[in-house]
Structure 1
Amino acid sequence: MKRKHMAAVAAAGLVLASLAGCSSGNKAPETKQETAQAEAATTTAEAQADAASGGKKYVIGLAMNTQTNPFFVDVKDGVQKAADELGVELYITDAQDDPAIQMKDVENLITKKPDCIIIDTCDSDAIVSSIEACNEAGIPVLTMDREASGGEVVSHIGYDAIKSGKLAGQYLVDTLGGKGNIVEIQGIMGTNVAQSRSQGFNEVISQNPDMKIVACQVADFDRSKGMSVMENILQANDHIDGLYAANDEMLLGALEAIEAAGRLDEITMIGCDAIDDTIEAIKVGKVEATIAEPPFFLGKAIMNSAYNYLQGKDVDKYVILDNELVTADNVNELVTKE
């Protein structure tokens, strides 16, 4: 750890443990909470047993929001792995983080008449009309990671974004001893994930009057934008103690800017997602922490839910996958892929 805050960190495990049960809670009666790896493994075992019995071969559309962000590359790989195990044919599209392109992608998928469509949304509001078009066409829809604001969805699987923000905020509070100048870099604010992570983070920081957010800017979950935003923040602020970036791509971009400015020893950093580059940065001591939300297991879980639904089985309306704080203390035990 770059900063000398070990006394404050000693109590962090207890405080962070108290957040482990936090959930957005807005759909609790229909919500199942599970670890990502357990959810993916359980549903795979059930679905593979059905597939082995010679059931129907399904065709499923997968409307990805992007395939340039490593998190979503791993999501797609998880979906593909489960599809291969189940004998499912996939039609995959890439919206390049553009809601307009994703609308066209879903339109094109509808014309192929798949058994269902899985959507990883670019924008929670913009995707509603596409989901409604699927509803009208009689094609079931499942969503993952980012929720849609409307339309009829069979099931949504994602991580507890509010909890992620709270874990990050509490980590900085504990590590910095409850005081310091903080920077927040936000994601695509048209998504519920970005909104909820920021909400959870600010709920914790606001309870600590000696923690001051000196800069809060949007970098759209993008590494290059994260670097550019952080460069500007560094120029405008001579004293920064902590940084929370709402995903690891933005964190890694910010890290480049911080290293170039020679201020690596000054700033305690935490991100979210636990992608490979961030895990390596934690191991070598450049980054203190991230929040693990393994995308590979998210992808497997959503494909298995889609398969089970098509098999006529009951699926949970909401599945909230658990996330966890990752630091140098537990990074070597982290499992993010098969």
Structure 2
Amino acid sequence: MAQQVHTTRRGLLFGTAAVSAGALLTACTSNDAGNSKGGSAEQAPLADDKAGKHVTIGFAGPQADHGWLNAINVNARDRAKKYKDVSLEITEGSNDTATQIGQVETLINKKVDVLVILPADGKALTQVGLKAMRAGIPVVNLDRIFNTPQAYRCWIGGDNYGMGLNAGHYIGEKLKGKQNARVVELAGLDSLELTKQRTKGFDDALQNYPNIKKVARQAAEFTVESGQSKMAALLQANKHFDALWNHDDDQGVGALRAIEQVGRDDFFMVGGAGALSAFQAIKADSGVLKATVLYPPTMAASAIDLARALGQGKGIGGMAEFEIPSSVTLYSAVVDKENVDRYMPTGFN
């Protein structure tokens, strides 16, 4: 997940979403939407239904060793199949930077029209992004950002600061009438900048609610196992709190196991990312999980839209500019029982 610029916003926090990048691309690219499938953007609108110049898109992502990363691959493949004028050259994905650099260089040598790259490490892959751009192949940098904008034509990704901000405001509004409210935070890997951004957004939001105090924070590792063990430690150390924000729905599976093992139901939980299991639990409304804040993997589908538009020399429908923008930051919508049905098709396993 990305390291990107903070975007502060106050409106549309509670169960409503801003338009996705995929919707913004209406009228830039083709064809009919198909049946919905978990983890995919299949219900999102495609661009204009006029087939254009054929575009070969090279897609290079990291190894799909996490539910969100697998959903990235699903979204890219499914979106490309929707377009009769798009061919997708997709690599096997690797968390080894040298391997991924080699894969991107192979795509450059194949002379693809456009590259979509979600780098395992943005800094490490900056040079190969520059190489592609210098070879005349525009790059759509997906989520984890390169060190320089010279290495990409367009960046599209999620809003980590916005995740924390919207989670904090959602919890704040739910607890604003409660005196001496207490919240805890189950973060992700503290070595990652994105984790720091999510915590910063959360803390900034809570400053608007003087009745709320964050009494504990524990860092996990974006895995089920770490979520379970770290949540167990939080529960043992904190006998009473009113709300929990968990940064990641994958580690949230483990957190919920720990909560169920001790039989706690005296607080509510807000997750992060948008896993199908989280959506199902929110819809069932039978446990502590009441909402999750999106970090939408549908960004990969939108990256394919952007790549196609670049290859065909088109802009974005609904905007006056002839060119696509240099960056697109997705909105971190809060999904709760009121709007979960809308987002259910995008939930990833």
Q: What TM-score do the two structures reach when normalised by structure 1?
A: 0.78
1:152 match: 151
Give 1:85's match in structure 2, choosing from 72, 82, 85.
82
Q: Tell me, in whole angstroms, the C-alpha distance in 2 between the residues paired with 1:284 and 1:230.
A: 22
* Structure 2 gap ranges (5+): 1-8, 31-45, 315-322
- Relative to structure 1, the CA distance from residue 328 to residue 214 in structure 2 (aligned partners, 3 Å threshold; closer, same or farther) is same
Aligned partners of 2:27 and 2:48 also within 8 Å: no
Q: Tell me, in whole angstroms, the C-alpha distance in 2 between the residues paired with 1:127 and 1:184.
A: 32
3-state DSSP class of the match of 1:174?
Answer: helix
- Relative to structure 1, the CA distance from residue 97 to residue 261 in structure 2 (aligned partners, 3 Å threshold; closer, same or farther) is farther
Establish whether residue 131 from structure 1 lines up as the match of residue 142 from structure 2. no
2:308 match: 307
Q: Tell me, in whole angstroms, the C-alpha distance in 1 between the residues paired with 2:189 and 2:89.
A: 26
1:4 match: none
Q: What TM-score do the two structures reach when normalised by structure 2?
A: 0.76
2:293 match: 291
Q: Tell me, in whole angstroms, the C-alpha distance in 2 between the residues paired with 1:163 and 1:319.
A: 14
Give 1:330's match in structure 2, choosing from 339, 345, 348.
339
Q: Let me know the Cα RMSD of the aligned residues.
A: 3.0
Q: What is the 5 A alignment of 1:1-338?
A: 18-20=10-12, 34-39=19-24, 41-45=26-30, 49=49, 52-53=51-52, 55-56=53-54, 58-86=55-83, 87-97=85-95, 99=97, 101-150=99-148, 151-177=150-176, 179-188=180-189, 193-263=194-264, 265-285=265-285, 286=287, 287-296=289-298, 298-313=299-314, 314-334=323-343, 336-337=345-346
- Relative to structure 1, the CA distance from residue 34 to residue 133 in structure 2 (aligned partners, 3 Å threshold; closer, same or farther) is same
Per-residue deviation, 1:303: 0.4
Q: Tell me, in whole angstroms, the C-alpha distance in 2 between the residues paired with 1:180 and 1:94.
A: 47
Aligned partners of 1:146 and 1:191 also within 8 Å: no
Per-residue deviation, 1:122: 3.1
Q: Tell me, in whole angstroms, the C-alpha distance in 2 between the residues paired with 1:99 and 1:187.
A: 22
Per-residue deviation, 1:204: 1.1
Identity score, percent: 30
Aligned partners of 2:126 and 2:151 also within 8 Å: no
More helix by share: 1
- Relative to structure 1, the CA distance from residue 41 to residue 252 in structure 2 (aligned partners, 3 Å threshold; closer, same or farther) is farther
3-state DSSP class of the match of 2:214?
Answer: strand
Q: Deviations over 1:131-188 (max 9, x none)?
A: 2343344432112233333242111122333222111001112223364332223335
Q: How many residues align?
A: 306
* Structure 1 gap ranges (5+): 1-16, 22-32
